[in-house]
Structure 1
Amino acid sequence: MCRGERGEPAFHSQYSNPQPLWINGESPPVSLIINPSRTQHFTKDSLSLSCEDQSNSTGWTVRRYTHSERVLDCSHWGSVTGSTCNISFLSTSYTGVYWCESESGENSNPVNITVHDGDVILESPVHPVTEGHPLTLRCLYHNPNPSNLRADFYKDGSVLQTQTTGEMIIQTVSKSDEGFYHCKHPERGESPKSWISVRCKKSFKY
């Protein structure tokens, strides 16, 4: 994200909306595991974030960046148990970028989490989807669920599919499926947008 500056003394604009940046390369030694496993959540819900270590590194901490607080670790906004951070009561102020960081300075891939105070959210994968794999998106509703589950699914602002089940599946994902997705219910409204990233399939040479 960025912000503008002008004048003397300096006057600053508000920060821009965050945009995802994925850099391909070696996978980091730790992954941020989110439960429930989705990037959008309702206010007042609970949330658990854990650092799943694949190396011998120790002392992983969950950290986040938000507009209001900048960078803070879990001890300032959640309850810490080992490498797990628990949030018992979400509010929109928890919207931000989350990641794991070790004592030695290693980082996991970041995850954008959105906390929504409306009636509809989009259930989408937390981590990038690998080319050739299926992608499932669902419209989720604040209780109670509507009797009519029909929903429109959008990619980059244009309707992609309309599904009576409230669930959309792309059987074989390709790089062209990467983009911003959201869903809309005719009575309950629409979800925020989430970025879906597609990771290239690994190729091996013999």
Structure 2
Amino acid sequence: MVYSAAQHRSAVRQQNSDTKTDPHVAHPLLIGITYSPWSYKARWALDWHGINYRYQEYLLMLGQVKLRAQLRQRAHATVPAMISADTKLRDSFEIAKWADQQQGGTDLQTNTAEVAQWNQISESILRLGRIRCALSVQDDPAGLRASVPPPMNKLPGATQLAKLGVRYILKTYPINTQVSEIEKQCATHLATVESGLSEQDFLLGTPS
């Protein structure tokens, strides 16, 4: 019988809930940004394996001090990050690898060279896309306000706060190249993905 991805996640989550019923066991804490594709990658891997976890929303700039304290590090911290009783993970791929090591669900092949290579291509696309989006909204009042999470986007000064956020992104994750070159590099990577799919649903034939 062939299950959809949603059916798979539901079945595995039910299996895990049946076997992990101790209310005193604290679930891992995932810290992320709801709209971030990096956070989405981490959540997808956890959901695929039916792993129960708590979620904490990270506020760009404002949450940096708290995040460093939670991860017990002095250097700049990024999300997604995951904290459990025995580990602290600071990258979406690390979180996916950790999820693969837990019981439940089909392996996502995160320990293979092929998946690592595709993840690197994904990372390149996301990094370029982040800068392209920041450059696109920096002079767009409506776009700036839309980038502020509710209910803060209703407050006076939300647009100015968003401008600070854009400057923070451009300073923290600089890519010294022209917009046209960013778009060219993105197009090249996306063409590689399209070629890899080659009329199939998954790059490696199964979810990874």
Q: What's the TM-score, normalizing by structure 1?
A: 0.27
Which is helix-richer, 1 or 2?
2
Q: What's the TM-score, normalizing by structure 2?
A: 0.27
